[in-house]
C-alpha cells in the first residue's frame, strides 16, 4: 500500500504535464458524469447541486465529473433536483418558470461500479465447447528442413536471439510455409514499429518483464482498477494483457520471443480486473490519445450467443472523439477481437464494440489456415489473422521477469497481431488516418483458401466472407501499400429516414422484405462519393430473439447477413433500436435499391413484428472542403419513430406469406407492391394482394352473422355487412338509430376527455416543457427551457437534410447500437482459473 502510494507520488510530475486523470474513490463518494451546454460554467451547476466539480471527463468536450461528499445508496442528486424543478414548474410555483442552471444539463449519469454486462477477455478458454477442447495437446509436424534453415538464417540476419523465436510460427512458419503474417521482409527493411505506440487496454501490463521493459511507455499507461499510474498485473489471473502486449511489442533481446512490431512503444491501461464506471471506461478509450496510436482491445460482452450489448453513450462518445481528435486529428485506431462465441452461434454484430464503424474487428484462423471453432462470423468483420487451433497456439511473453507463454489463443490473440501490423504501417507512413488503415486492411487482405460464403465485391475487387472478412492480414502487403498510399478524403455520411414496416414476420424461409431507394441526388446532397460502412438500425418485436435473422441486400446485389439466428438467445425481445453494421459493401456507390429481409425461420409458437428500420451509409466525401465533423452519439437513435416523410421514402414491404398472382417466387421482394411508409398497411395492399381465393371467400361466408338474410336489398336498412337482426326495416331504423345515438354520445365523451388531456399536456409543455435529462436534447441552439423543452423536429425533409446543423440524426447509437436490452448477464459463470478471485473481480470472467 505504502509502496503504491509512493510510486504514485513519483509519477505525479509526469501526470501534471499531461491531462490530470482523477482518482475516484467510489466507496467514499458518489460521482456523476454530466454533459453541459457548451459555455456553461460547470462550477455554477455543481454548486447549485451541492456537488463538487472534479473537472473534465477525460477528453470529452463539455463533459464533467461531479462528486457528492457522501455516497447515498440508490439516490441520484441530479435526477432528483431536475424532477423537483419540473414539479415546481408544473405547479406554477413562483419563480420556477425562470431559466435555471439545471436547464443547461444535457445529460447526467450517476456512475456505478457495476456494468450492464461484464467485459470478458477473449482468450481460448472462453468457450467451454464440447466440440473442441480449448487447448488440445500440441501436435508435432515433420519439420521442413529448408524452411527450418531459412528461419535460422533469418534470425541471424535480423540479429534475433530470442529463445522462442523459432516457435513463433505466426511470425515465420517453417512447418506450414505461408501460414504466418508475412512480416520478416519488413523487418529486413528496418520497419519494426519505430515511433509507433500501441496501448493494450486489458487486465494490466507487466512492465517489469524483461521482454516488455525496453519498449514500455509509462506516460500512456494507467490503472483504472487499483487506481494509479502503474498498470501492474495484481491478481493471479491478470496475465491476458501482458500476453497480448508481448505479441505486439516484445523486445528483440534474449527473453522469450519478439513482437510483430518489436521496436514499437507499448502502454497498458488496466480496466478488466475490477468493475469500473462508464466514465472510467470512456477515459480509458482516450487515454493519452495524442501519444498513443493504436488501442488493442481483446474483450467485450460475453460470447454466449445470448448477450446483445453495446458500449454506453459515454464510451461511444469517447470513441468518436478518438477517431476525430486522437493522434493529432488522424484518429485513434481501435482494434477489437471479434469474439469467441461461434460454437454458441454468437455473431459479432450482436456486440456493439466490434460492430462499431470506429473499430477494426479481427477474427481468427489457425496455423493451418483453417477456421477455428471459436471465431465468430459477421458482416462487420474486416480481417482475420492467426491464433490457436490445429494443435497449437500463439507463443508470447507472460507475466514475470522472463516468463514465456505458449498457449495464448482465441480471437484475443488475433487482435494484437493486427495492432502490431498497424504499428508497422504507421512507421512506414505516419500520416494514415483511421479510415486509411481500414482501406489498407481491406485492399491488402489475402483470401483464405477455405470454403466459405466468399462473394466478390466488385467495387474493391476483393471477395468477402462473413467468416473471414476480406481475408487474412498480410503485413508485408499492407505496409507496402501503405508506403505509397494516397490518403482518402474525409468521411461523409447519409442517414436515411426511419421506414415503417409494422408488419408481422411470416415464419419459414421467406421472410419479410422492405426496400429503400437511395438516389444519386441524395448522396450528392450528402457529399458522399463511395461507401465504406453501412449500418442498419432497426426495431423488431419478437417473443424469441434468437429465431430472427436479417439480410441486407445492396443495389449491386451484395448480401450482408447482418443478423443471424442464435439458438441460445431465448430473450423475449426483438431488436430495440439496435444497429447492425456491414463492411461487405465497401467501395459501392450506394445508389439504388437497398433491401432488408427479416426472417423467422423457426416455425414455432414464437412470433414477431418488423416495426421499422433506417439505413446509414458512411464513406468518403466527394468534396473534402465540404466535409463536416462526425456527429456526437446521442442517447437515443430517435424518439419519434412516428413521423416519416412518405413522399421521399419509398420503402415497400412485402408479406411473402401471401402468394402473389404473378407466379414469381413470393420471396422476391421485387414483385411486390410499393407501400408508403406511413404504416397504413391495410389501405395500400392492393395490386399484389391476390383477389380472395375460394378459401378466403368461404371464410367470409362462414363468418358469424347473427341472422342470415334471405332477401338482400329490400329488407335491409343498411348495406350488406350490417346485420338486420331479423327485424323489419322500421325496427332496424330504431335499433341503428339508438346505436348511433349511443355511439355519438360516447364519441363526444371520448373527444372531450382527449381534448382535456391534450390541453393539460400542452399547458405543461407551453409553460414548462422541461424534459428529463436522460432524454437528451443536444440539438445545438435549441435551448431546453425556452418554452418547449424537447421540441421535436419533424422528420419531413430529413432526407435532404442529413447534414443540417443540429439535425436530430446526430445520434451515435446509430453507430454504436446503444439501446441494448440485456441488463447484465450473469457474471462469473466462466470456468476460469481465477475462481478464488471471483469476489474481487465480480463480473470479469477469466477465460
- Positions annotated as catalytic residues are 202, 240, 412
Q: Which is nearer to ligand NAG, 106 or 384 (CB)?
A: 384
The yes or no reply on residue 476 touching ligand NAG (CB under 6 A) is yes
CB 120 within 8 A of CB 302: yes
Q: Which residue in the set 113, 164, 370, 446 belongs to the binding site for ligand NAG (CB under 6 A)?
A: 446
Query: Considering the complex, what minimum distance in angstroms separates the CB of residue 193 from ligand NAG?
Result: 10
Query: Considering the complex, what minimum distance in angstroms separates the CB of residue 170 from ligand NAG?
Result: 14
Query: Which part of the chain contacts ligand NAG (CB under 6 A), choosing from 87-95, 197-205, 331-339, 474-482?
Result: 474-482
Q: Which residue in the set 218, 477, 627, 643 belongs to the binding site for ligand NAG (CB under 6 A)?
A: 477
Query: Considering the complex, what minimum distance in angstroms separates the CB of residue 580 from ligand NAG?
Result: 32
The yes or no reply on residue 185 touching ligand NAG (CB under 6 A) is yes
Binding mask of the shown chain, residues 129 to 168, with x at each position contacting ligand NAG by CB under 6 A: ----------------------------------------
Q: Which residue in the set 182, 242, 444, 825 belongs to the binding site for ligand NAG (CB under 6 A)?
A: 182
Q: Which is nearer to ligand NAG, 477 or 627 (CB)?
A: 477
Nearest to 554 by CA among 510, 516, 593, 506: 593
Which residues fall within 8 angstroms of residue 64, CB to CB, at 6 or more apart? 33, 34, 36, 42, 46, 53, 54, 55, 56, 57
Number of residues in the chain: 847
Query: Considering the complex, what minimum distance in angstroms separates the CB of residue 480 from ligand NAG?
Result: 8
Query: Considering the complex, what minimum distance in angstroms separates the CB of residue 430 from ligand NAG?
Result: 12
Q: Which is nearer to ligand NAG, 7 or 190 (CB)?
A: 190
Q: Which is nearer to ligand NAG, 55 or 185 (CB)?
A: 185
The yes or no reply on residue 180 touching ligand NAG (CB under 6 A) is no
Residues 33, 27: Cα–Cα separation, whole Å? 17
Which residues fall within 8 angstroms of residue 598, CB to CB, at 6 or more apart? 505, 511, 512, 513, 514, 538, 540, 548, 549, 550, 610
Q: Which is nearer to ligand NAG, 478 or 528 (CB)?
A: 478
Nearest to 183 by CA among 261, 244, 293, 253: 261
Size of the residue set binding ligand NAG (CB under 6 A)? 8
Nearest to 308 by CA among 661, 583, 640, 574: 574
234-271 as b/e: b if 16+ CB within 10 A:
bbebbbbbbbbbbbbbbbbbebbbbbbbbbbbbbbbbb
Query: Considering the complex, what minimum distance in angstroms separates the CB of residue 148 from ligand NAG?
Result: 18
End-to-end CA distance of the chain: 29
Kindly report the backbone phi and psi dihedral angles of residue 282, in degrees, each rounded to the nearest multiple of 5, phi listed first. -60, -40
CA angle 283–285–287, rounded 5-degree value = 65
Binding mask of the shown chain, residues 189 to 208, with x at each position contacting ligand NAG by CB under 6 A: -x---x--------------
Strands 404-408 and 491-495: unpaired
In angstroms, the Cα distances linking 129 to 110, 134, 564 are 38, 7, 20
Nearest to 292 by CA among 327, 243, 242, 342: 327
Taking CB under 6 A as the criterion, which residues in 692-751 touch ligand NAG?
none
Query: Considering the complex, what minimum distance in angstroms separates the CB of residue 188 from ligand NAG?
Result: 8
Which residues fall within 8 angstroms of residue 557, CB to CB, at 6 or more apart? none
By beta carbon distance, the residue nearest ligand NAG is: 185
SS3 label, residue 755 = helix
Query: Considering the complex, what minimum distance in angstroms separates the CB of residue 197 from ligand NAG?
Result: 14
Taking CB under 6 A as the criterion, which residues in 500-519 touch ligand NAG?
none
**CB-neighbour burial class of residue 91 (10 A; exposed 0-12, middle 13-18, buried 19+):** exposed
Query: Which part of the chain contacts ligand NAG (CB under 6 A), choosing from 2-10, 133-141, 251-259, 471-479?
Result: 471-479
Taking CB under 6 A as the criterion, which residues in 326-385 touch ligand NAG?
none
Query: Which part of the chain contacts ligand NAG (CB under 6 A), choosing from 290-298, 470-478, 591-599, 813-821?
Result: 470-478
Q: Which is nearer to ligand NAG, 291 or 671 (CB)?
A: 291
Interface ranges with ligand NAG (CB under 6 A): 182, 185, 190, 194, 446, 474, 476-477
Amino acid at each position: 500500500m505504502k509502496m503504491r502510494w509512493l510510486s504514485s507520488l513519483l509519477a505525479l510530475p509526469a501526470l501534471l504535464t499531461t491531462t490530470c486523470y482523477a482518482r475516484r474513490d467510489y466507496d467514499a463518494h458518489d460521482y456523476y458524469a454530466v454533459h453541459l451546454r457548451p459555455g456553461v460554467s460547470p462550477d455554477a451547476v455543481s454548486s447549485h447541486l451541492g456537488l463538487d466539480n472534479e473537472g473534465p471527463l477525460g477528453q470529452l468536450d463539455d463533459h464533467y465529473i461531479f462528486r457528492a461528499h457522501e455516497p447515498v445508496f440508490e439516490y441520484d442528486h441530479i435526477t432528483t433536483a431536475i424532477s423537483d424543478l419540473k414539479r415546481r414548474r408544473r405547479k406554477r410555483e413562483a419563480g420556477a418558470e425562470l431559466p435555471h442552471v439545471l436547464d443547461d444539463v444535457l445529460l447526467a449519469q450517476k456512475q456505478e461500479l457495476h456494468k450492464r454486462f461484464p467485459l470478458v477477455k477473449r482468450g481460448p478458454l472462453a468457450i467451454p465447447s464440447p466440440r473442441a477442447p480449448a487447448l488440445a495437446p500440441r501436435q508435432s509436424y515433420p519439420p521442413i528442413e529448408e524452411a527450418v534453415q531459412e528461419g535460422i538464417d533469418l534470425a541471424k540476419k535480423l540479429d534475433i536471439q530470442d529463445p522462442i523465436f523459432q516457435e513463433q510460427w505466426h511470425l515465420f512458419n517453417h512447418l506450414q510455409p505461408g501460414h504466418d503474417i508475412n512480416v520478416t521482409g519488413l523487418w529486413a527493411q528496418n520497419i519494426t514499429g519505430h515511433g509507433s505506440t500501441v496501448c493494450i487496454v486489458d487486465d494490466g501490463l507487466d512492465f517489469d518483464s524483461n521482454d516488455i521493459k525496453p519498449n514500455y511507455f509509462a506516460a500512456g499507461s494507467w490503472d483504472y482498477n487499483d487506481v494509479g499510474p502503474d498498470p501492474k498485473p495484481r491478481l493471479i489471473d491478470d496475465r491476458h494483457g501482458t500476453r497480448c502486449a508481448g505479441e505486439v511489442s516484445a523486445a528483440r533481446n534474449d527473453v522469450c520471443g519478439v513482437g510483430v512490431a518489436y521496436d514499437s512503444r507499448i502502454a497498458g491501461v488496466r480496466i478488466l480486473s475490477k468493475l469500473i464506471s462508464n466514465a472510467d471506461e470512456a477515459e480509458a478509450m482516450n487515454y493519452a490519445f495524442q501519444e498513443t496510436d493504436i488501442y488493442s482491445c481483446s474483450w467485450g460482452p460475453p460470447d454466449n450467443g445470448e448477450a446483445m450489448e453495446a458500449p454506453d453513450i459515454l464510451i461511444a462518445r469517447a470513441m468518436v472523439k478518438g477517431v476525430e481528435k486522437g493522434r493529432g486529428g488522424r484518429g485513434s485506431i481501435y482494434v477489437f477481437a471479434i469474439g469467441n462465441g461461434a460454437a454458441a452461434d454468437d455473431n459479432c454484430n450482436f456486440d456493439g464494440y466490434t460492430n462499431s464503424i470506429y473499430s477494426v474487428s479481427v477474427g481468427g484462423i489457425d496455423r493451418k489456415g483453417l477456421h477455428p471453432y471459436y471465431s465468430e462470423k459477421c458482416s462487420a468483420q474486416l480481417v482475420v489473422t492467426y491464433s490457436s487451433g490445429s494443435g497449437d497456439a500463439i507463443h508470447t511473453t507472460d507475466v514475470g521477469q522472463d516468463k514465456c507463454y505458449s498457449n495464448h489463443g482465441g480471437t484475443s490473440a488475433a487482435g494484437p497481431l493486427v495492432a502490431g501490423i498497424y504499428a508497422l504501417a504507421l512507421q512506414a507512413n505516419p500520416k494514415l488516418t483511421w479510415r486509411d488503415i481500414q482501406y489498407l486492411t481491406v485492399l491488402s487482405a489475402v483470401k483464405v483458401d477455405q470454403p466459405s460464403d466468399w462473394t466478390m465485391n466488385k467495387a474493391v475487387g476483393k471477395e468477402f466472407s462473413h467468416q473471414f472478412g476480406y481475408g487474412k492480414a498480410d503485413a508485408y502487403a499492407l505496409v507496402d501499400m501503405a508506403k505509397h498510399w494516397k490518403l482518402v478524403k474525409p468521411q461523409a455520411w447519409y442517414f436515411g429516414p426511419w421506414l415503417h414496416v409494422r408488419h408481422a414476420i411470416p415464419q419459414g424461409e421467406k421472410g419479410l422484405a422492405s426496400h429503400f431507394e437511395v438516389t444519386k441526388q441524395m448522396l450528392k446532397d450528402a457529399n458522399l462519393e463511395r461507401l465504406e460502412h453501412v449500418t442498419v438500425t432497426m426495431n423488431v418485436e419478437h417473443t424469441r430473439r434468437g429465431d430472427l435473422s436479417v439480410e441486407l441486400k445492396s443495389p449491386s446485389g451484395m448480401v450482408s447477413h447482418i443478423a443471424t439466428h442464435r439458438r441460445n438467445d431465448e430473450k423475449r425481445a426483438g431488436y430495440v433500436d439496435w444497429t447492425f453494421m456491414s463492411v461487405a459493401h465497401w467501395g459501392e456507390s450506394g445508389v439504388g435499391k437497398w433491401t432488408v429481409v427479416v426472417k423467422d425461420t423457426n416455425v414455432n409458437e414464437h412470433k414477431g413484428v418488423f416495426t421499422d428500420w433506417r439505413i446509414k451509409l458512411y464513406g468518403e466525401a466527394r468534396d473534402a472542403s465540404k466535409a463536416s465533423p462526425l456527429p456526437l452519439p446521442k442517447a437515443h437513435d430517435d424518439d419519434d419513430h412516428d413521423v416519416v416523410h412518405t413522399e421521399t421514402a419509398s420503402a415497400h414491404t412485402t408479406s411473402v406469406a401471401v402468394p402473389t398472382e404473378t407466379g414469381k417466387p413470393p420471396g422476391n421482394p421485387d414483385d411486390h407492391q410499393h407501400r408508403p411508409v406511413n404504416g397504413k398497411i391495410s389501405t395500400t395492399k392492393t395490386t399484389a394482394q391476390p383477389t380472395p381465393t375460394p378459401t378466403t371467400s368461404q371464410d367470409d361466408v362462414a363468418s358469424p352473422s347473427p341472422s342470415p338474410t334471405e332477401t338482400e336489398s329490400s329488407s335491409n336498412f343498411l348495406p350488406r355487412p350490417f346485420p338486420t337482426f331479423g327485424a323489419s326495416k322500421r325496427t332496424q331504423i330504431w335499433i341503428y338509430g339508438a346505436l348511433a345515438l349511443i355511439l355519438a354520445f360516447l364519441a363526444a365523451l371520448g373527444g372531450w376527455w382527449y381534448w382535456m388531456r391534450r390541453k393539460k399536456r400542452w399547458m405543461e409543455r407551453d409553460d414548462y416543457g422541461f424534459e428529463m435529462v436522460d432524454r437528451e436534447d443536444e440539438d445545438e441552439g435549441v435551448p431546453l427551457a425556452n418554452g418547449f423543452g424537447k421540441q421535436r423536429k419533424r422528420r419531413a425533409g430529413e432526407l435532404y437534410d442529413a447534414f443540417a446543423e443540429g439535425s436530430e440524426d446526430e445520434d451515435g447509437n446509430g453507430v454504436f447500437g446503444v439501446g441494448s436490452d440485456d441488463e447484465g448477464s450473469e457474471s462469473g459463470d466462466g470456468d476460469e482459473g481465477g475462481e478464488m478471485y471471483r469476489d474481487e473481480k465480480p463480473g470479469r470472467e477469466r477465460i
